Structure 1
């Protein structure tokens, strides 16, 4: 049985918008500014999936600017909520009993555990959180992970969300790179990408990425200026990790398995994967 069509002739439950329009772009930006993730937005009926949103950002400068502004608003709102939460936690800690050393006791507190997970999901490191006087030290946090299963489950979820946050930052670093800053930006880019792959290896890990990067840099030194190719990472409907644009035949084959056709989005150039095979034709 096929999917029911809406009045415009589009499919029902499984339909996803792929054509850009200013109205839909504004709706996506409004949802992002309100704090919704692209994963949550893509699950809503009639909204584009994450891959489509990134394609729009690459091809529509006005949408890319609006999306970046919306993400900035969401991060600002999250920081404001975090400061308010921390103010409440500090007030609560002042009222708690003190140990002989003068520090607040390290008894497990659900509110503190929630604040730790929220800050992790927003991209902070565990050491940075542990240095905050209002938070337990890193050793105490690890102790809580061993003793409280509910905190461990929330912590694992927060680390997965942190990987998505860092991947968004990876993309911003790549798009902001200029010929003057490319070497410093590349170090920042590679560090964030490595952290992201460590946090969510099934989703973001690139096998042999170090060897490939070294080979590319050596080749660039011998043959001419370094060419930086910015790629994005996503998941297909079959759950397989995808790279856009694909850089090798294996990544090109992954798009065929996921969508039944070769990748045909932006980013093709000579030497990259094209719809007809590995080497794209030069003009």
Structure 2
């Protein structure tokens, strides 16, 4: 009679339950050696004998091996895919702390009009240089950053418009300075959209300054309109409103050229008239055709000078 736990000569300890347990352990990725090393498990030689004497066990064990190999391949592929999605580590430095949530928070503050310098000074935010490095390193963040800067330019333009609308005679110099700064920022942030307009406006400003200097030099120290130095000067703002005519056409008040003046006649049946409209709207005085011609010629000359200056700078 054999020892306990061992089969007597000619006997087998194989059972279907023991075979299923061994196959399940192998399918889970364990090696046959580790399974056989557990207390109460048969030796590897015994399992090989079971394979020869029990065909159903041999087939189940082969299926378990195939399942284990498939699981290993799938796990390796998943790990490779995860590694491919991760940005390459920076050698010699710590890993990037960028996350999409942090990038969205930065872009949201940019859209609200906050400068990147102010965001970088926030203790809860990365510094200025780190944010710019993220823009270069993470394409998704770069797309968000570009869109946020475009929206920021629109906000700056709106702020400049509101500032100009709220300006009074008492704060014209300060408001003009703030307006110019906002317009310059909008041109820098969204150069393709606003730079040409800014250069044209600057050329107009330079032409106006040169004309005023020439007048002062020719009038012996008097400014525009003959005002002496130190005397108050008159500042004239031209505001154009838009109304909808009886036929649904949009009309400019006052008309800025002969075509817009003719539109009033065609839409209302009468020429544009200065005063108060039927709904209480104010209608400013209209310029003369000679004034339109002088203005158009002046603007064309200034735009031509600005275009030549841009072309010279590119060369």
More RCO (CA 8 Å, sep 6+): 1
Q: Into which bin does the TM-score normalised by the smaller protein fall? A: 0.3 to 0.5
Query: Structure 1 length as normaliser, TM-score?
Result: 0.45
Instruction: Name whichever structure is richer in helix by fraction.
Output: 2
Structure of higher CA gyration radius: 2
